[in-house]
Amino acid sequence: MRRFFASAIAVAALAAGGCAPAAKDPASTENPLLGLQINDNLQPPQTPKRPQLIKQHDQQRIDNYAWLRDDNWQQVLRDPTVLQQDIRAHLEAETTYYEAATDHLQPLREALVREMRGRIKEDASTVPMRDGPFEYYTRFREGGQYPIYARRAEPGAAEQILFDGDAESGDAEFFDIGAVEVSPDHSLLAYSTDRTGSEYYDIRIRRIAGGEEFAATITSTRGAMVWAADSKSFFYIEADDAQRPKRVKHHRLGTDPKADRLVYEEPDDGMFLGIGETTSRAFLNIAVGNSVTAENYVIPLAAPLSAPRLIAPRLQGQLYDIDHRGEHFYIRTNAGGAVDFKVMRAPVDKPQRRHWQEWIEHIPGRYISAFIPFKDYHVRAERQQALPRIVIGNFAGSDRGNEHTIAFDEQAYALSLKGWAEFDTEQVRFSYESPSQPEQTFDYNMKTRQRLLRKTQEVPSGHNPDLYSVEVVTAKARDGAEIPVTVLRLKTTDLDGSAPLLLYGYGSYGAYIPDNFSTSILSLVDRGVIYALAHIRGGSAKGRQWYLDGKLDKKINSFTDFNDSALALIERGYTARGRIVSYGGSAGGLLVGAAANLDPGLYAGVLAAVPFVDVLNTISDASLPLTPPEWEEWGNPITNAEHYGWIAGYSPYDNIVRGAGYPAILATGGLTDYRVTYWEPAKWIARLREEAAGGPFLLRMNMGAGHGGSAARFERMEERAHLYAFALDLMGREQTEPVSHR
């Protein structure tokens, strides 16, 4: 995959008993949160009950709202107009209710969008990346929603626009750019777009000189493309009707896509499938796997008609990925008990496991998240004690000589490798940022060890990092584990328990949520809200074992870690019970839903974006796109009664504490979302209204988008403003003016 253009393809025994009594808190009585004010005459939609009896493992349960799942959901992904009419009417009624209930927040939402827009440079551009005869970059125009992909021969030379996202989007209600890939000879462009939000991408090709479009449109792809070395063909992945990546295909320019050669087909629905090119650009890499196993195939890009060659067959419990340099493949793996990974290498002509030799040893607690070999140098990304660093070495002499580390001294920050276009290079690009410091982009000379600052993120409306304090709180989990919690606040915010706090978390799939700079979260912090990011188990902030301790039978740890993080912040005076709004999306929506079931009185509100809350039903339905590969994450309740018990014990939809006073909850969804189907938040909100007290419980359904919401940058701000305005209203900060940076 060309690396100068970023792809968009590109992120628990819970008791159902009574909630703990709220602790007496002077701060909360002296300065109570106001809560969402809804007109007494405004009533939520009445969701019809159509009971469905479900029997599993000698257990029975009734699902009153299963009817919200359209049996024709696969077709809805491709054509939302075919949605069953009674379901559409219900979702539209929910939207009408949400809009009426939050109509008083419209001025605040508008103010938030103005603030967010004021913090971005609307005509921003990336630092150009050299690739052969051109520098490639992306930029936005003032007021533009989508990026422009462009190139130039050298700084100051005339710009050549390759792909104009604003022009290409036309009048589409939804538009997303999957990938934009230039051919190796720099004459052709392959690009992929999605116009429904379902993440089915169409691929098209055009000549850069003159803009001539090829006749072929390749449909139902996952969006990624890898060009063959001769620029006459490329590889892509075809998705099936359940949105599963199933087949790698090879398309030759000028031919009918119906005749595209099948390169690889994955028969196991429990596997994910991906493609990329090695850093050397010598091989196509076909990667197959899930969270516990992997296998990789390679095809020389100079010989694209070659059959895929297996590196090593999949083994349960063993992960590996590969890259290439010279006579060796380099293999990052957890083999042999290397929980936090090591790097092996093997000859290109003998890549089988028996030929793997250790090249970078495993050190427990040092998590190797990436390894990139260049012609003369190698780079790896690591994390230790939740702090990232970049390690540089060279291939001279002993192969491992002269390693050195790029790191920073702050308590919390984010480092990321920003890409490269050439294999024979001394330069690698990385960025640094922190919750209070805007992103800085550096070019780093791996030979001289000199870093060149290429760009600092501009905040046009003004930003003074000295106004903020960034701290890392170590929260003690109930089993003794130490949870890092990153906190951003104004230095003037009192730590007497009176401040409202937004607590964010994710905690699944081993995902790492970096401590980065957010121009949007400042709209909360500048109004005296404390922002906290809990690095809970189920994520990988503290390495892979941190992830393993938050999945399957240990999933409970993710949810209790989140609540224990909140309690630690209360103990240290950052906030108080009932003054916290929790926030999570997708599997993070599962997190905040389950955490609220455990202790509803802990929170003033819940922001659940596209929340994965109907876990038991979803993971019991093998026809859904992500269910088979995620049995390794959650367990398989279809075949295993013990696994059923795990999930039944925490699934938010199935563990609402009847009659308990719940916080106000705002859930969002997307009609064409195949990752978390639209009916999950719709069912959850309906059941909350039926069984829980408190609230209100609101649903905002996007009828024209999928999992990520709008892909247009200003529309994304508007979506975020809905969440933040809801939170600020609950916090009693809807009338608060943000601190001035001027």
Q: Which residues are the active-site residues?
A: 586, 673, 707
b/e code 141-178 from CB counts within 10 Å (16+ = b): eeebbbbbbbbeeeeeeeeeebbebbeebeeeebbbbb
Using CB atoms within 10 Å of the CB of residue 104, give its burial: 0 to 12 exposed, 13 to 18 middle, 19+ buried: middle
Q: What is the dihedral of CA 729, 731, 733, 739, to 10 degrees?
A: -130
Handedness of CA 456, 457, 460, 464 (dihedral sign): negative
Query: 728, 604, 584, 731: which is closest to 667 by C-alpha?
Result: 584
Provide the token pair at 659.
């009659």
Residues 6+ apart with CB under 8 A from 373: 279, 280, 323, 324, 325, 330, 395
Residue 125 is classified by DSSP as B
Query: 152, 59, 243, 67: which is closest to 642 by C-alpha?
Result: 59
Backbone region of residue 257 per phi and psi (left: phi > 0; alpha: psi in -120 to 50; beta: other values): alpha
Chain-centroid distance of CA 344 in Å reads 29
- Strand residues in 437-481 grouped as ranges (E): 440-445, 451-456, 468-476
Using CB atoms within 10 Å of the CB of residue 212, give its burial: 0 to 12 exposed, 13 to 18 middle, 19+ buried: exposed
Q: What is the distance between the alpha carbons of residues 646 and 651, in angstroms, rounded to a whole number? A: 9
Antiparallel, parallel or unpaired: β 342-347 and 427-433? unpaired
Q: Do 44 and 636 contact (CB within 8 A), yes or no?
A: no
In this structure, the number of other CB atoms found within 10 A of the CB of residue 85 comes to 8
Antiparallel, parallel or unpaired: β 664-670 and 603-609? parallel
Q: Do 235 and 249 contact (CB within 8 A), yes or no?
A: yes
Report which residue type is found at 470.
V
For residue 481, the cross-strand partners are none
Phi, psi of 249 (to 5 degrees): -125, 160
For residue 583, the cross-strand partners are 504, 607
Antiparallel, parallel or unpaired: β 661-662 and 580-585? unpaired
Q: Which helix (H) or strand (E) holds 591?
A: helix 587-598
Q: What is the dihedral of CA 513, 519, 521, 522, to 10 degrees?
A: 140
Q: Which helix (H) or strand (E) holds 544?
A: helix 544-548
In order, the DSSP letters of 622-643 are TTSTTHHHHHHHH--TTT-HHH
